[in-house]
A and B are shown apart, each in its own frame.
Chain A
Amino acid sequence: MSTNPDKLLVVNNLATTFNTSAGPLPAVGGVSFDLNKNETLGIVGESGSGKTVLARTVMGLQPRTNVTVTGSVLLNGHEMVGVSEDEKRKYWGTEVAMVFQDPMTSLNPVMRIGKQIDETLRVRLGMSKNDAKAKAIELLELVGIPSPSQRYSAFPGQLSGGMRQRVVIATALACSPKLLMADEPTTGLDVTIQAQILNLLEDLKEQFHMSVVLITHDLGVVATRTSRIIVMYAGRIVEMGTTREVFTNHRMPYTRALLESSPKVSNPSHTRLITIPGRPPNLLKLNQGCSFAPRCAYATDRCHQQRPELQIAEEPGHSFACWNPLPSKREAATR
């Protein structure tokens, strides 16, 4: 794999398996994608699709014991798989940072928030106590926290959910990383706050010249804020492409089902919600075929027997994994 300087992140055949007492659990199986500088990539999937595990593995944050990771993750040319924790730690905070889902649990409840931001600055950048405090207050202001110098000494429990998430973001950005992984950053927040936080992330992305990986189950979130999307199911990528292409010309039936199942405000009232029949698969007992086949309306025999690999669609950069894909709208248009 060439280390293309424009590519911030190159993931190649990444697989994460947990060794549980019930057997090996392949949470992520053979994922490959890359990320350019200043790009926003969306990773979409239901709970259990492996998107969170993927995010953590890409960053190298997976637990240390009973986990096997294979493949390669090149972060700015540095390999993150199979290296020691000390190696990975060099880049944590300074080149890549993460925003977690639930700000109540991701902040240390007995430590003042100012200190939590300070910590990164002092430990990683070697700043002095006063410098770090000044910078921390600056960051708090940047993320939109009112009266930052007072809030500096607050405990997480004293802030509202939206504010806490802002603090988390401030902490993540403290050392100006080039890549920000946002794992369901708004899922636990009120709807009104969600938009604020997402806008904040966009602004900061511009300011800091970062790339952002936005992980969510909410298609509405990725629709307008990402340039590319990855759709995951049962630990694998089932469709990948530009946001526009995936939304308008998706080929994999799962993608369609996902899109259709989100309720639309524009629908007439009492429209029945469309659901995907069946349940997410048991990762401990994956079948040999396509993992979506048991729930797919278009499944053929081949789908049940052989796992489809990602194939390129007409537009470069758009790929999907399906033996019986939906007809391409492009093809229809050109006929």
Chain B
Amino acid sequence: MSEFIRETELSQEALLEASMVERPEKNEPLGPLFWICVGWLALNIIGAIFANVLPVQSPLNQDYNFVNSAPSLHHIFGTDDLGRDIFARVVYGSRVSIAVGVGAMVIGFGIGAPLGMLAAYRRGRFDTFVTTVMYVLLAFPAIIAVIAVLSFWTPRSMLKIILVIGFASVPLVYRVIRTATLAIATKDYVIAAKVQGATDRRILMKELLPNIAPIGISFLLIGIATVVTLEGALAFLGLSVNPPTPSWGNMINESRTVLAENPWLVLFPSLALCLFLLCLNFIGDRMRSHYDVTEVKL
């Protein structure tokens, strides 16, 4: 995750002197690249959801005229060794990646975020207890847990994958959200609101949530990217969805043996995966530096 440092050129004393002066509020601009990435992601998502109705071939259909073929008019991305259209498989494969990525994060954030916010705001016994539990869980290497559970908990299904990764991500989400909330909750304006008699609920909604949202969203995006990568890795270990269901991960895995003969097989899903990840990371990162007036150390 990058840290864009603004105005490194100004020495501190000049900043102090200049800060006594009115300066125009300028957030780090989002930039055109940001919106291009958003567009690409939107395209992917639309493709995933509406794959059935789009002019895309069936990913399972085996076209014996075109086995292991290079990109052509019939098959834009070429075909694999069973004659299946790679383009179709890439599009359908995005379903798995996106479903797993989003699904797992929904669980992780759905559980971890409210807990984290509540714990940071309420403090006290609740906070101490939950935080200790979470930190202990956090110390357990999540990837191993995921691999272990998925390999033992057969038969596999996409739902199970989403559940396992989702729950495994709860401690980390908890920690991030809690830290962020802590930083805000101790700010004077929150305490001021409290003193003025605002109810907890109101404070949560009006003071905390809007300030945590940017960090939360950017972490959410980066989290999705991590989960998608994880799904890819799991596919290589044979722990992802079963064939013939296409996923970017297992497409790459299945085709690496024939890399020399049919590089297209690896190229397109890899490209799809990497671009998806790149866009997610970029958007998450940009949002963070855009809204971060002071660096919140996570």
Are A281 and B21 in contact (CB-based, < 8 A)?
Answer: yes
Chain B positions within 8 Å of A25 at CB level: 14, 18
Given A22-B23, A22-B24, CB of A27 within 8 Å of CB of B9: no
Bound together, the chains give a CA A20 to CA B14 distance in angstroms of 11
Chain A residues in 8 Å Cβ range of B6: 21
Q: Mark B6-25, 1 if CB is under 8 A from A, else 0.
A: 11111101101110111110
Bin the interface of chain B by size.
10 to 19
Contact A18 B26, beta carbon cutoff 8 Å: no
Say which residue of A21, A53, A56, A63 sits within 8 Å of B26 (CB atoms): A21
Q: What's the Cα separation between A57 and B114 when bound, in Å? A: 51
The chain B residue sitting closest to A65, CB to CB, is B9
- Considering only CB atoms, which chain B residue lies closest to A183 in the complex? B13
Interface string of A13-27 (1 = CB under 8 A from B): 000001111100101
Q: Which residues does chain B contribute within 8 Å of A66, judged by CB atoms?
A: 9-10
Cα A48 to Cα B17 in complex, Å, equals: 4
Please judge, given known A-B contacts A21-B26, A22-B26, whether A63 and B11 are in contact too, CB under 8 Å.
yes
Q: Which of B7, B14, B17 contacts A21 (CB 8 A)?
A: B7
Contact B7 A20 (CB under 8 A): yes
Contact of A262 with B by CB under 8 A: no
Q: Which of chain B's residues has its CB closest to A283's CB? A: B21
A27 and B7 in contact, given A22-B23, A22-B24, A284-B23 (Cβ under 8 angstroms): no
- Asked if A284 and B21 make an inter-chain contact with CB atoms under 8 angstroms apart, the answer reads yes
Q: A283 with B18: in contact, given A21-B26, A22-B24, A22-B26 (CB under 8 Å)?
A: yes
Shortest CB distance A149–B (Å): 34
Judge if A50 is at the interface, Cβ distance under 8 Å: yes
> A305 in the interface, Cβ–Cβ < 8 Å?
no
> CA of A53 to CA of B18 in the docked complex: distance in angstroms?
11
Residues of chain A from 52 to 68 with CB closer than 8 A to chain B in the complex: 52-53, 56, 62-63, 65-67
Report the separation of the CA atoms of residues A62 and B14 in the bound assembly, to the nearest whole angstrom: 9
Residue among B8, B13, B21, B24 with the highest chain A CB neighbour number at 10 A: B13
How many whole Å from A190's CB to the nearest CB in chain B?
22
Answer yes or no: A144 CB below 8 A from chain B CBs: no
Tell me if A282 is interfacial: C-beta within 8 Å of chain B.
Answer: yes
**CB within 8 Å for A53 and B9 given contacts A47-B20, A282-B22, A284-B23:** no
Interface residues of A in 38-82 (CB under 8 A from B): 47-50, 52-53, 56, 62-63, 65-67
Q: If the complex has contacts A22-B24, A47-B16, are A56 and B11 also in contact, measured as CB distance less than 8 A? A: yes
CA distance A244 to B284 in the complex (A): 61
- In the complex, whether A280 has a CB less than 8 A from a CB of chain B is yes
**B9 and A47 contacting across the interface, CB-CB below 8 Å:** no
A-facing residues in B47-105 (Cβ within 8 Å) = none
Find out whether the CB atom of B17 lies under 8 angstroms from the CB atom of A27.
Answer: yes
Instruction: Chain B residues near A53: list those with CB within 8 A.
Output: 13-14, 17
Cβ of A282: which chain B residues have Cβ within 8 Å of it?
Answer: 21-22
CB distance B10 to A18 under 8 Å? yes
Contact for A48 among B11, B21, B26, CB less than 8 A: B21
Known contacts A20-B7, A21-B7, A21-B26: does B13 contact A52 (CB below 8 Å)? yes
Is B17 within 8 A of A50, CB to CB?
yes
Question: Which one of B6, B9, B17, B24 has the greatest number of beta carbons of chain A within 10 Å?
Answer: B17
Give the contacts of B1-44 with A (CB-CB under 8 A). 6-11, 13-14, 16-18, 20-24, 26
A20 touches B21 (CB 8 A): no
Q: Which residues of B contact A27 (CB under 8 A)?
A: 14, 17-18
Q: Which residues of chain A (276-335) have a CB below 8 Å from chain B?
A: 279-284
16 residue pairs of the A-B complex, CB under 8 angstroms, read: A18-B14, A18-B18, A20-B10, A25-B18, A27-B14, A27-B17, A47-B16, A47-B20, A50-B17, A65-B8, A66-B10, A67-B9, A280-B20, A283-B17, A283-B21, A284-B18
Measuring CB to CB, which residues of chain A are less than 8 angstroms from any residue of chain B? Answer: 18-22, 25, 27, 47-50, 52-53, 56, 62-63, 65-67, 279-284
By a beta-carbon cutoff of 8 Å, the part of chain B in contact with chain A is 6-11, 13-14, 16-18, 20-24, 26
Known pairs A18-B9, A20-B7; list 8 more (Cβ under 8 Å): A21-B7, A22-B26, A27-B17, A50-B17, A52-B16, A67-B9, A281-B21, A284-B23
**Minimum-distance CB pairs A-B, first 10:** A66-B9, A48-B20, A65-B9, A52-B13, A63-B11, A282-B21, A48-B17, A282-B22, A280-B20, A283-B21
